[in-house]
Chain A
Amino acid sequence: MKAVFTRPQALSDQATHYCPGCLHGIAHRLVAEALDELDLTERAVGVASVGCSVFTYNYFDCDFQQAAHGRAPAVATGIKRARPDSIVFTYQGDGDLASIGAAEAMHAASRGEKITVIFINNAIYGMTGGQMAPTTLEGQRTTTSPSGRDVSLTGHPLRMSEMLQGLPGVAYLARVSCHDVKHIRQAKQSVQKAFEVQREGLGFAMVELLSNCPTNWGMTPGESLKWLEENMIPYYPIGELKTPEAVTDHGE
């Protein structure tokens, strides 16, 4: 009998701590599939961030470093500069990357660090209990914006990918979504490209994956996927923002 669906080799055989319905599991799987299919696991060094993805190092079957909050791109820079043959990737949420670590992300991108950044944007702080993030949408209720985000007080949600788009050091940049099968298949291609770009030494690569948080959004998993599609995608348009010619298009 032929196994048609198995756990990717790059994922360790371990149950995750993520809440039911959370899309982290799918995002992990996409990264692991890319490592498997490009045969990069033996060279891989991941950098875990702070937030719900803090235990990422338990779920990937490769070397890992745990970074301080927001500092993953700086840590990844140190690893990559010391070991240029390593395939170095960070896995960061929106609080980590777009708030406390905005400078590190921006400058790693600006320097064209040959690293891959997996950026999970679910518009909220998950682990600390649902506080407002820089990416929280206008009017979105969180524990620290109980009446909904008031942009006159806290500014507008930060579009990190658009901020990075203009930097010459950025070789690959895409925003994808994980809310349905079609979009997950697109996301898979982008994640693969982001690793190929590093393998070819072309520069900084980042994939922003729009994600959910049923627990802190106060929704069922199904409702959260619908909310993502109807509210996040209009503000955070999906698609490839930057692609180097040298990267192959996998097609469908």
Chain B
Amino acid sequence: MSRFRTGAGGRIDRARGINFTFDGRLYTGLQGDTLASALLANGVHLVGRSFKYHRPRGILASGAEEPNALVTVMRDAGRTTPNLRATQVEIYEGLAAKSQNRWPSLEFDLGAVNALASPLLASGFYYKTFMGPRFLGSNKAWAKLYEPLIRRAAGLGRAPEAPDPDRYARRYAHCEVLVVGAGEAGLRAALDASADPHCRVILCDEQAEMGGWQLNAGSDDLVEMLETLGARPNVRLLARTQAFGVYAQGAVALAQRLTDHLAAPSPETPRERLWQVRAGEIVLATGAIERPLVFPGNDRPGVMLAGAVETFANRYGIRPGERAVVATTCNSAYGAAFALKQAGVDLAAIIDLRDKPDPALAANALKAGIPVHTASVIVGTEGHKRVRSVRLGKVEPCGIVKSTDSIACDLVAMSGGWVPSVHLFSQSRGKLAWNGETGVYSPGKDAPGQKTRSVGLCSGEFPADMRGFHNGALPTPDEKGAAKAFVDFQNDVTARDIRLAAREGFHSVEHVKRYTTTGMATDQGKTSNMNALGILSGALEKPVPDIGLTTFRQPYTPVTFGIFAGANRAGLFDPVRKTPAHAGADALGGVFEDVGLWKRAHHFPRKGETMHAAVNRECRAVREAVGLFDASTLGKIELVGPDAAEFLDRVYVNSFAKLGIGRCRYAVLTNEAGYVIDDGVVARLAQDRFHITTTTGGAGRVFAMFEDYLQAEWPELRAWQTSITEQFATFAIQGPKAREVLAPLVEGIAMENEAFPHMAMREGRVAGIPARVFRMSFTGEAGYEVNVPAGEGARLWPVLLDAVDKAGGAVYGTEAMHVLRAEKGYIIVGQETDGTMTPDDVGLGWAIGKGKRDFVGKRGMMRTDLIAPGRKQLVGLETLDDKTVLEEGAQITDTPTPAPGSAALGHVTSSYWSEALHRPIALAVVAGGRGRMGETLHVPMPGGAIPVRVVSPVFHDPEGARLHA
């Protein structure tokens, strides 16, 4: 047995040795050890380098609050986790861990030269130093030079670069009572609550074993309590589970570690599980965190919290040193002293700040042969990678500190008293109340909608032995001393830094936090908060409660990205929506694009064809013969009821009251402000029944808007909408041969031009399948859109494809569709519109029902700035050279070289090569555009301005004769 292990006791299994490595060196620990206890059992105290100054650092605490001992645990390239607290890592056979923030090695770290420059690295150093040079432009130097350098030099572990191969699970759970923390108070709360078999109780604890401080004692009570809870079917016990965030209305997020403690976890088993709990009541039993003492050199390896020392000795059977000094302001540290004595550690002294420590404890100490120095503090430490001695200081009645003896020791157990762990209560937005008697903030009133109860130490109710405290830095003989007294170990913030911030005018605790970085980041001030407030209080000469308190943020301890991603990555990142004809389009070699969650075929290249060649060929097919297009993703709504037409009259700008049965109308939707937000086609199936199409991307939004108006604004209207987007597969057959292709397949519909004119709708059968057939066009050619039940789409697709093929036509994708509609000046919502275009702006003023009393957007459209002259209007553009295709989004100006800072007249919204016109075409919005027909404007580009002529946006068949053919 190692000389750093006690002979007996504790919760480790002394028969089961476990081999692991730290920084490549092989060590042996015991089953039940954390990485921290196993390292201490091997006499290793130096475990990391500090964030800013690269100072040697050891293990300070024994639990989640550990600020120093951050390590990286590596299983393989993708299974590498940085910034784990060694006090929470359970060792397993073969565990490989390494220290962080050191180079080339932990023992010899070049970054430690920072310490020499430390007078320069005071608070606000980055803000003050890395400001220039100005000629590079604002912040250029910071982003390009300083920040990358600083990030490399300082900081935490490195994120792994290989993909994480692990699975992460997620579950929602509901309970009447959630108990966070399975120490004595939490266990009792869970027992009480679960006595009622109808009360579902979840008890979680971040440690591998439940019991909290009880695990230091090994009580029979604990075994019995856990057995009782385990036997109750209404209780769920979650060990290794960190409650890391409390959110609104009893929502609590728990991270459960499922496999991190296993030597060879199955790749099938999730590594972690996120529990999203909705609790009727949240019982917080999160205990208390010990305050470090702030004295010069308090960060040397070997300086630990007294409670942690006691835990390591009692629970893990560790002798954390040969010769110890206990420094305290609180009775509880005497327990550590006695535990160390019990473990066979030599006790050099108890240094108690108080004039009159508890007489019984002091007597016991003296009886045990431990000298007790009252009204005393540590004023300095010696040693480099391990504390070697401390210097004792005597606090005179006047407050002056006199440095006296030096005491040799290799372990300092310190206690500045205790602070209730109120992080989760604070996250729940509860109000914290200041308690001057114990010098802490404790839970006060719950936030609205929250029901929490803090039990045990986290309530701030401490037993007498835990009440002694000191907030802030200990008195020292040398206020300007160069030695650093650390407040925030993780962020390397010293007492001097906080005083400096106060001197420089940072009086708000929020500002001091950000200026000095104390209490920030992953640590969230677990060990530093109260001391920082104490120092600030002294510096500002204001009582602590007048300074305020920063907000504790989620998560309580760092959480993996994996647990947030869960299953939502790679193929399951988002649902992938495929149309009924997807497989058919895929088989044709279709190249798909994402439109919202949908996959849409963009173009169908034939062998050796470029995208442009394919799109040009597809456009020619539609203009010269016939094209087939999958339009299934369009949003569709069936609106039914006696007031359906009235509803449509009110929401769309168009009039529908007089729309005949079997007729369709292009419809424009604006928002209340009068701006175009969607468009589509409305067909009247019957007096009280309409089939409405929306844009693909707007389907959900339009449905929600309609529902809002139906339910909230006009509940008197008797009309109901049903989404039928996915009820139908929709295929467009467009081109001069469209009728020739479709007619032979159709039953029950007279297909002649006069019987079935443009903008009409008929119901019948296509290839034997019941269908709603619309005669309409988004290409400028005569055409049809065939809607069949979605389940029949895959069957109809090849039939249509075959017919189109035989007529010399082709299947076309969204890109050809875009070109064809642009040739006709048809807008696409979101391309020609940007949320600030009225129907009139985009040339759709004709669609507005003139006789209507009111509709959504009517009043908005009448606002003076929306009818003022000079608004941007939709126009066509032709490049004068007849060959340059403009860039979409390019600015348009009236001179080729506009003065810097002058405003553009507008911008290009759509731009394509038009195969039909054998020239480039563009749509644009230009100030007063319709009054500029024939004018030459300019599109300034990096290679020089491109002259363009303003023309009508309808390039192809302006009379529309082809539509009606």
Real binding pair: no
A-side interface residues toward B, CB under 8 Å? Answer: none
